[in-house]
Structure 1
Amino acid sequence: MAKGYGQFCPLAKAAELLCERWTMILVRELSAGSRRFNELRRGLPLMSPTLLSRRLGQLASAGVVQQVRDNDGAWAYELTQAGRELRPMVELMGTWGHRWVGSQLQEDDLDVGLLMWDIRRGVDPAHFPPHRVVVQVRFSDAPGGHRDWWLVSEGGETDLCMEDPGHDVDVVVLSSLRALTEVWLCRCTIAEAERQRSMQVLGSDDFRRQLPRWLQGSPLARLGEASLREVPVES
């Protein structure tokens, strides 16, 4: 851990633990339900496995994270009570970031794998029928091998596939990476993206109507949008 602030202030002591690089993003992933090491890596693709292990160890030593056995006997990580008490902080920081510093997306901010992983766990399958519904996402500008993705919604769960699962496709979303990212961040609606011709949705009228409610946006982005509606930004 980096050198501390040399202050007894509780805020300084919390900052010594939580303000190191990647730590709060790791807490975000754990708060979002990622439990296994490989799941955490998918949500933190630029974080090295060595640093991830180190940060998990630091949080465990501080009593924020604990290692447990999943039902299949594999090791997993979960937040302790101390860690769960950080969730409002994660939500507040996400809301603040959406409201004040998240309006401009740089090219380095766009990550197709991270976007699709976040969409997989953030969509609301309750807005699709309980039977299997397949949404294919095709990016016009993603790197080779990452242009086609499939989201399979069935029985209240959503799976993400990088290879064709072999099922009939109900909806096809043709989009640029930036356009779908902006929709997921609640910066743009699907209808607006279609009008701008940065996105096209193909499928039956019924599924097209349900898609915006299913693809409702990142939970943190939705909190940010709600804050903008409640308290107008001063000019």
Structure 2
Amino acid sequence: MPNAGYKQFCPVAMAAEILCTRWTVLVIRELIAGSTRFNDLRRGVPKMSRTLLAQRLRELEEQGIVARRAIPGDRIHSEYRLTDAGRDLLPVVEAFGRWGQKWVESRISLRNLDPSLLMWDMRRNIDPAPLPPRRAVVQFRYPELPPAQRDFWMVVEPSGEVDLCSDDPGFEVDLMVTTDLRTMTAIWMGLTTVRAERARIAFDGDGAIAARMQTWLGLSPFATAERAAS
């Protein structure tokens, strides 16, 4: 961590020296969300450079917040897991999220649209229970985006495992959802609902899956948090 510091014995100041460097809380957020591999962590912080991510992980390891472990049978890659000290940060990260959901004005939040990050977060929080007890494939299309960012496929296996593909996985698509990125992001954040935005969403495919979209859709963990009055 930087050597300058706050030069205060206050526990708030000491914790801030560790946690308040750029990207650090977001890296911890990704670890809390269950990412353990370097490339998976990167998918949750796509605008963070590989070099800086590696640096932050080293710093968190030095502070005893993260432990790096070898992966059995893999001589190249490691996995990163929170220590007891790191897991104790769960309520801190949750408080950050609840505060942001309550007090940060939604129009400001929705300036920061990122299709890859949105779909990665949706994939982590999807609920397979309302989907058919077989492989279900849902394709999301954002027509206003460049071709390389326009289509995503969510593949939900009967086991509950969910895979996100940015290239066509070759399976039959059960439902195609076409909408704009801002609308989908607002739904994911809990700022609106599928029903309220129905005029902005086109469905093509299984009507039963479409009708239950709000129940299986992976929303933000903070989607139900209280929002301050405007």
- 2:45 is equivalent to residue 41 of structure 1: no
Structure 2 gaps of 5+ residues are: none
Q: Residues 136 and 155 of structure 2 are in contact (CA less than 8 Å); yes or no, is this contact kept in structure 1?
A: yes
Q: Normalising by structure 2, what TM-score?
A: 0.92
Q: Residues 112 and 177 of structure 1 are in contact (CA less than 8 Å); yes or no, is this contact kept in structure 2?
A: yes
- 2:22 is equivalent to residue 18 of structure 1: no
Identity of aligned residues (%): 46
Worse-superposed segment, 81-90 or 126-135: 126-135
- Residue identity matched to 1:178: R
For 1:58, the equivalent position in structure 2 comes to 59
For 2:78, the equivalent position in structure 1 comes to 75
Alignment of 1:182-197 (within 5 A): 182-194=186-198, 197=199
Partner-residue secondary structure (3-state), 1:68? strand
Q: Residues 123 and 218 of structure 2 are in contact (CA less than 8 Å); yes or no, is this contact kept in structure 1?
A: no
Question: How many angstroms apart in 1 are the aligned matches of 2:108 and 2:177?
Answer: 21
Q: Normalising by structure 1, what TM-score?
A: 0.90
Q: Residues 29 and 40 of structure 1 are in contact (CA less than 8 Å); yes or no, is this contact kept in structure 2?
A: yes
For 2:205, the equivalent position in structure 1 comes to 203
Counterpart selection for 1:158 from 159, 162, 182? 162
- Residue identity matched to 1:86: L
Counterpart selection for 1:122 from 114, 121, 125? 125
Q: Residues 126 and 216 of structure 2 are in contact (CA less than 8 Å); yes or no, is this contact kept in structure 1?
A: yes
Question: How many angstroms apart in 2 are the aligned matches of 1:211 and 1:23?
Answer: 33
- 2:151 is equivalent to residue 148 of structure 1: yes
Worse-superposed segment, 125-134 or 84-93: 125-134
- 2:223 is equivalent to residue 221 of structure 1: yes
For 1:174, the equivalent position in structure 2 comes to 178
Q: Residues 46 and 117 of structure 2 are in contact (CA less than 8 Å); yes or no, is this contact kept in structure 1?
A: yes
Partner-residue secondary structure (3-state), 1:126? coil
Q: Residues 94 and 221 of structure 1 are in contact (CA less than 8 Å); yes or no, is this contact kept in structure 2?
A: no
Superposed structure 1 runs of 4+ greater than 2 Å apart: 69-74, 105-108, 201-205
Q: Alpha carbons of 1:118 and 1:58: their partners in 2 closer, same or farther (altered >3 Å)?
A: same
Shift of 1:157: 1.1
Shift of 1:78: 0.7
- 2:90 is equivalent to residue 87 of structure 1: yes
Question: How many angstroms apart in 1 are the aligned matches of 2:72 and 2:99?
Answer: 37
- Residue identity matched to 1:188: T
**Larger helix percent:** 1
Partner-residue secondary structure (3-state), 2:106? coil
Shift of 1:203: 2.6
Q: Alpha carbons of 1:106 and 1:186: their partners in 2 closer, same or farther (altered >3 Å)?
A: closer
- 2:133 is equivalent to residue 134 of structure 1: no
Shift of 1:206: 1.4
Q: Residues 140 and 175 of structure 1 are in contact (CA less than 8 Å); yes or no, is this contact kept in structure 2?
A: yes
Q: Residues 130 and 156 of structure 1 are in contact (CA less than 8 Å); yes or no, is this contact kept in structure 2?
A: no
Partner-residue secondary structure (3-state), 1:146? helix
Shift of 1:102: 4.6
